[in-house]
Amino acid sequence: MKPFGVRLRDAMGRHGPVCVGIDPHPQLLRAWELTEDVEGLKRFADACVDAFAGRVALVKPQVAFFECYGSGGVVVLEDTIAALREADTLVVADAKRGDIGSTMAAYAQAWLTDGPLGSDALTVSPYLGFGSLAPALELAAANNRGLFVLAATSNPEGAQVQLARAAEGRSVAQTMVDEAASRNAGAEFGSVGVVVGATLTQAPDLSNLNGPILMPGVGAQGGGADSIRALVPAQSLGAVVPNVSREVLGEGPSVAALRTRVTQLADEFAFLQS
C-alpha cells in the first residue's frame, strides 16, 4: 500500500479535491425523515456510502454522531468505514484524538491499523504538545496511514491557544504546521496534513507543509473559493482538500441529488488542481 499522502493525491486527481463529511446529526436525520436511533443512523450512513463511494477523494465520518448511539452506533460506523474502503474510497475518521503515552498509542491502534475502526487517516489534536502525537505518527508511518493535525481552527475559542506566541514570536498554530512539515520533509507528498478553517481571516504559513490541508467551513459555513485563495499560497493550492458536509447532506435523502451536488462541488473547486 502506498503512503496515505500519495494515495490521497492520486484520488484527488481522479475525483477532484473535495472531502465530504458524514455528519448524521439529529436535525439531518429529521430532515431526511429518519428515526433518531440506530436504524435511522444506519439508513443515513448507507445512503452516504451509496452516494460517495468511488466518487470523491476523501470521506470524513464525524465519529461523535455515531458514538452517541452507543455500541450500535459504533457498529454502524465500523460498517460504514469498511464499505467505503472496500470501494477504494479513502476515509479520514474525524475523532480528534489527543492524549499522551500509552493512551495515545491505544487511540492509534484503534484507528490506524486493520482493526474494526481502521481508517486511512485520523484527525488528531496536538494541544498536549506536538510530541504527544508520537505514537500516532509512528504507527501511521508504519502502516501507510495519515494524520490531520488541528492547527488553526475557525471556532472563536481556538484563537486563545492557537494564536498565542512563543518567545521567538511564532504562533502556536504556526508551530503545529511547522512540526507537521518536518514530518513530511523528503516525501513525494507527505501524509501528515493539517486542519485549517476556511472561514479564518488569517492562516499560518502553509508554503512548506508538503502535505494535505483539510479545510472545513466550506459551503454552508461561509467558506469558499475566495477564502481559500486568501488563506493559502498559490503554490500550495493543489494540497487543499475542501471539506463539505451540510452543503452536500442537505440535498438528501436522494442518493442522486447527493451525487449531483458532489459533482457540482468538484467542478467548483477544480481550480485547486490546475
Query: pLDDT class for 16, splitting at 50, 70, 90?
Result: very high
* Cα 11 to Cα 14: distance, rounded to the nearest angstrom: 5
Q: Which domains does the chain have, with CATH numbers?
A: 4-273 (3.20.20.70)
Least confident of 90-99, 117-126, 212-221: 212-221
pLDDT (0 to 100) of residue 223: 84
Q: Please state, in angstroms and rounded to a whole number, the distance separating the CA atoms of residues 183 and 137.
A: 9
Specify the range with the lowest mean pLDDT, choosing from 28-37, 144-153, 160-169: 160-169
The 3-class secondary structure across the chain, one letter per residue, is: CCCHHHHHHHHHHHHCCCEEEECCCHHHHHHCCCCCCHHHHHHHHHHHHHHHCCCCCEEEEECHHHHCCCHHHHHHHHHHHHHHHHCCCEEEEEEEECCCHHHHHHHHHHHCCCCCCCCCEEEECCCCCHHHHHHHHHHHHHCCCEEEEEEECCCHHHHHHHCCECCCCCEHHHHHHHHHHHHHCCCCCCCEEEEECCCCCCCCCCCCCCCCEEECCECCCCECHHHHHHHCCHHHHHHEEEEECHHHHCCCCCHHHHHHHHHHHHHHCHHHHC
Tell whether the model's pLDDT for residue 218 goes beyond 90: no
pLDDT digits (tens, 9 = 90+) for 172-203: 999 999 999 999 999 999 999 999 999 999 89
Residue 166 has pLDDT above 90, yes or no: no
pTM for the full model? 0.96
Q: What is the mean pLDDT of residues 159-166?
A: 93
pLDDT digits (tens, 9 = 90+) for 24-65: 999 999 999 999 999 999 999 999 999 999 999 999 999 999
Query: Which amino acids are annotated catalytic?
Result: 96
Average pLDDT of 131-156? Answer: 97
Which of 17, 7, 16 lies closest to 240 in space, CA to CA?
17
Q: What per-residue confidence (pLDDT) applies to 167?
A: 82
pLDDT, tens digit (0-9, with 9 covering 90-100), for 74-103? 999 999 999 999 999 999 999 999 999 999
Q: Count the alpha carbons within 13 Å of 186 in the hemisphere toward its beta carbon.
A: 2
Percent of the chain with pLDDT over 70: 100
